[in-house]
């Protein structure tokens, strides 16, 4: 009888202790509720978070980590759907990449309780590369793929190394170096097409050419960059370079029409160049 009573008391104590521990957790009305506790535990982590792009636009900790301390909050933030809810445009190129295909097919087998380091996953999720080694300031100190008109900076070498670090966890240094050289060249070719189209559009000064140029830079060149970054052939080629080629041809066709009209006078009938433009649409 005494044994039974003792066990009942022990069970009651454990239940009360669990409830008290749960009650001791802070509420989740804002990210400040998380930072007030975690600042005492890891000053560097919180400092990195406060500098991050997410913090600057008001994304709360719970948006990625959830609100349940007992629910593997770190593992939740490593799932792709923690990112793709907001980054839908970027996620398409990743999903069609080799990394993304494996992540989709083997989603149930990925152990996301493991920390983000040392190539410990068969394929990287978004967080593995963009929050490498648990870094909360996504993309901080990383050299971007070639950007138009960018001037070299003294810290470029260090930033290039930071860019390659996640890749080298799984791939050989030679493969990674070659891949980035090739990728930078592919993006630069896309930018060359945009520069040529910009020069042609400057002769026109009309809304149609401005619309095409806007689509080139904001959609199709972006697709090339995302396709290179995620190693997504469909995004690089089908939605990237061929689309840029079509945009460039349309603008040059408009410029050709303008030149022909200036030389021979305006005509009421469509010119062959205009017909060609319609074909490309």
Nearest to 123 by CA among 14, 231, 262: 231
Q: 172-200: per-residue pLDDT in tens?
A: 999 999 998 999 899 999 999 999 999 99
Helices 98-105 and 88-95: angle between axes, nearest 10 degrees:
90
Give Cα 224 distance to the centre of its chain.
13
Nearest to 119 by CA among 181, 183, 176, 184: 176
**78: Cβ–Cβ under 8 A, 6 or more apart, which residues?**
112, 116, 125, 127, 128
Its sign, for the CA torsion 112, 66, 93, 150, is negative
Nearest to 130 by CA among 96, 82, 98, 173: 82
Rounded Cα distance, 203 and 254, in Å: 10
- The CA-atom distances, in angstroms, between 172 and each of 57, 167, 229 are 36, 8, 17
167-200 CB burial, b ≥16 within 10 A, e <16: bebbeeeeebeeebeebbebbeebbebbeebeeb
pTM of structure: 0.75
Rounded Cα distance, 249 and 243, in Å: 10
Rounded Cα distance, 84 and 63, in Å: 12
Rounded Cα distance, 256 and 250, in Å: 10
Rounded Cα distance, 176 and 232, in Å: 16
- Token readout for 157 is 């070498």
Instruction: Going residue by residue through the chain, which has 281 residues, state the pLDDT in tens, using 9 for 90 and above.
Output: 555 545 544 454 444 444 444 444 554 545 567 888 888 888 988 888 888 888 888 888 888 988 877 656 888 889 999 999 899 988 999 999 999 999 999 988 888 888 777 778 889 999 888 888 778 877 766 766 665 556 677 777 777 888 888 899 999 999 999 998 999 899 999 999 999 999 999 988 889 999 999 999 999 999 999 999 999 999 998 899 999 999 999 999 998 888 888 887 655 455 544 444 444 44
Q: How many CB atoms lie within 10 A of CB 91?
A: 19
Domain range summary for the chain, segments of one domain joined by +: 40-67+74-140, 173-280
Q: 35-53: per-residue pLDDT in tens?
A: 888 888 889 888 888 888 8
């Amino acid at each position: 009888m005494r044994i039974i009573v003792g066990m009942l008391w022990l069970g009651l104590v454990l239940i009360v202790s669990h409830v008290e521990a749960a009650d001791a957790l802070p509420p989740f009305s804002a990210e400040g509720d998380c930072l007030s506790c975690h600042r005492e535990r890891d000053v560097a982590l919180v400092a990195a978070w406060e500098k991050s792009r997410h913090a600057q636009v008001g994304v709360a900790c719970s948006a990625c980590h959830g609100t349940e301390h007992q629910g593997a909050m770190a593992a939740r933030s490593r799932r792709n759907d923690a990112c793709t809810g907001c980054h839908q445009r970027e996620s398409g190129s990743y999903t069609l990449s080799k990394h993304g295909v494996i992540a989709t097919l083997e989603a149930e087998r990925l152990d996301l309780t493991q920390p983000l380091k040392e190539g410990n996953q068969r394929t990287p999720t978004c967080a593995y590369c963009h929050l490498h080694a648990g870094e909360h300031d996504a993309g901080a100190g990383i050299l971007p793929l070639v950007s138009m008109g960018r001037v070299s900076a003294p810290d470029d070498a260090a930033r290039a190394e930071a860019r390659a670090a996640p890749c080298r966890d799984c791939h050989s240094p030679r493969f990674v170096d070659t891949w980035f050289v090739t990728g930078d060249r592919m993006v630069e070719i896309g930018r060359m097409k945009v520069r040529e189209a910009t020069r042609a559009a400057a002769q026109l000064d009309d809304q149609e050419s401005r619309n095409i140029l806007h689509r080139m830079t904001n959609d199709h060149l972006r697709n090339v960059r995302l396709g290179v970054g995620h190693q997504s052939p469909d995004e690089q080629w089908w939605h990237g370079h061929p689309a840029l080629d079509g945009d460039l041809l349309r603008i040059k066709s408009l410029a050709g029409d303008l030149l022909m009209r200036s030389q021979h006078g305006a005509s009421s009938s469509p010119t062959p160049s205009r017909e060609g433009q319609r074909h490309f649409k």
